[in-house]
């Protein structure tokens, strides 16, 4: 009888260690990014760095026109986009993924007017919003709840980005060719703090 109990205890031990290792394996699979998800997150790192490059180019345009407030606004915008890229960079690493950096295409360097610059900025943010929405869709398709949650910051961020760039487009459209109006908006943009 004692021998039977001993064999039974051994069997239980073997079975529980097998179940535990199967669970641990499953958990590590949950931690690791799906290949397609990783590839698309890497593309987003590139898109955010391109955004930073584009806004820096816009800052340079405004510097050349002595519109220092607008240049300041664009410079902060470029910094914010670099932070976005780094959030994606850190996230891919946290999820045991591999960050692969590709070349960043050159942005335009010249515009017809300050209004044209902000119209481009607004159009660009609309494109980025589409990219973020596609990322959310993919996270849902591959049942990646962690990435879905991570992306919510960007979903909200894009709403703010669209609101702020659209407001400036509207204000610049309102003033038309008025130079004092332009200087007033430039001064207002120079007050941006973050």
Q: Which residues contribute to the site for Fe ion (CB under 5 A)?
A: 48, 81, 84, 161
Instruction: Check the annotation: does 112 bind a ligand.
Output: no
* Minimum distance, C-beta of residue 150 to Fe ion, in the bound complex (Å): 14
* Minimum distance, C-beta of residue 51 to Fe ion, in the bound complex (Å): 5
Among residues 156, 180, 169, the alpha carbon closest in space to that of 119 is found at: 169
For Fe ion, which is the closer residue by CB, 50 or 182?
50
- Would you tell me how many other CB atoms lie within 10 Å of the CB of residue 62? 22
For Fe ion, which is the closer residue by CB, 163 or 183?
163
Among residues 61, 169, 83, the alpha carbon closest in space to that of 123 is found at: 169
Buried b (16+ CB within 10 A) or exposed e, 95-105: bebeeeeeebe
Report d(CA 89, CA 86) in Å as an integer. 5
CA distances to 55, 68, 73, 148, 164 from 192, in Å:
15, 12, 6, 31, 11
For Fe ion, which is the closer residue by CB, 144 or 161?
161
Which helix H or strand E contains 102, and what residues bound it? none
Find the residue with minimal CB distance to Fe ion: 84
Instruction: Check the annotation: does 81 bind a ligand.
Output: yes
* Minimum distance, C-beta of residue 19 to Fe ion, in the bound complex (Å): 44
* Minimum distance, C-beta of residue 35 to Fe ion, in the bound complex (Å): 24
Instruction: Check the annotation: does 157 bind a ligand.
Output: no
Instruction: Check the annotation: does 125 bind a ligand.
Output: yes
For Fe ion, which is the closer residue by CB, 138 or 182?
138
Instruction: Check the annotation: does 161 bind a ligand.
Output: no
Per the annotation, where are the binding residues?
A: 48, 81, 84, 125, 158
Per the annotation, where are the binding residues for Fe cation?
A: 48, 81, 84, 125, 158
């Amino acid at each position: 009888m004692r021998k039977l109990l001993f064999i039974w205890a051994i069997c239980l031990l073997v079975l529980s260690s097998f179940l535990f290792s199967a669970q641990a394996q499953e958990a590590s699979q949950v931690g690791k990014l799906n290949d397609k998800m990783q590839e698309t997150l890497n593309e987003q790192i590139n898109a955010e760095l391109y955004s930073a490059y584009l806004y820096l180019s816009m800052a340079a345009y405004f510097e050349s026109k002595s519109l220092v407030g607008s240049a300041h606004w664009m410079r902060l915008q470029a910094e914010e986009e670099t932070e976005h890229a780094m959030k994606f960079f850190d996230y891919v690493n946290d999820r045991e993924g591999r960050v692969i950096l590709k070349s960043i295409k050159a942005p335009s360097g010249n515009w017809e007017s300050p209004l044209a610059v902000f119209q481009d900025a607004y159009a660009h943010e609309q494109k980025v919003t589409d990219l973020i929405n596609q990322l959310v869709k993919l996270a849902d398709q591959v049942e990646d709840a962690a990435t879905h949650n991570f992306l919510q910051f960007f979903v909200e961020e894009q709403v703010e980005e669209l609101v702020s760039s659209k407001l400036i487009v509207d204000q610049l459209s309102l003033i038309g060719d008025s130079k004092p109006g332009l200087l007033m908006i430039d001064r207002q943009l120079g007050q941006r703090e973050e």
